[in-house]
Amino acid sequence: GQQLYRIIPRTILYARLGNKLPLHGNGTSERSFVHIHDVANATYRIALNGTVGTTYHISTKDTISIRDLVIKICELINVNFTDFVEESEERLGKDQSYMLDSEKLRKELRWKDTFDLNEGIASTVEWIDNNLDELKKLPHEYIHKP
């Protein structure tokens, strides 16, 4: 259920619709992707047992470049990366990486991520395929709300 303009659902949706995917800055920026079920589990643990006023970062230990992520998705859904991607300049102000340290959450509340990226991508592919007719009607680009 992630917003359709985010990279994972957008990549799958654009491939299903036959659209070219813009890959800003050659996709060199890196991200860590955590499954919503792991986020919900961490949030629940924090709510029950976290220390009031303390910050806990929820993140996997793994990072991947946007380019490698798109390649991974293309391989899974049998789309030719070179034909599908349209490389473009980096977006102004885009962060090169998002790195969060979840060690405090892991140690103090004994949390760990249980869904890996491949599982998350596969479930997102299934969700998009099952809802494609409705998703076609929705905006696929980010809409800035003032």
Res. 1: pLDDT tops 60: no
Question: Mean pLDDT across the chain, nearest whole number?
Answer: 89
Strand partners, 23: 87
**How many whole angstroms separate alpha carbon 57 and alpha carbon 24?**
27
Decide if 50 contacts 102 (C-beta within 8 A): no
Q: Does the pLDDT value for residue 144 go beyond 80?
A: no
- Tens of pLDDT, residue by residue over 65-77, are 999 999 999 999 9
Residue 108 scores a pLDDT above 60 = yes
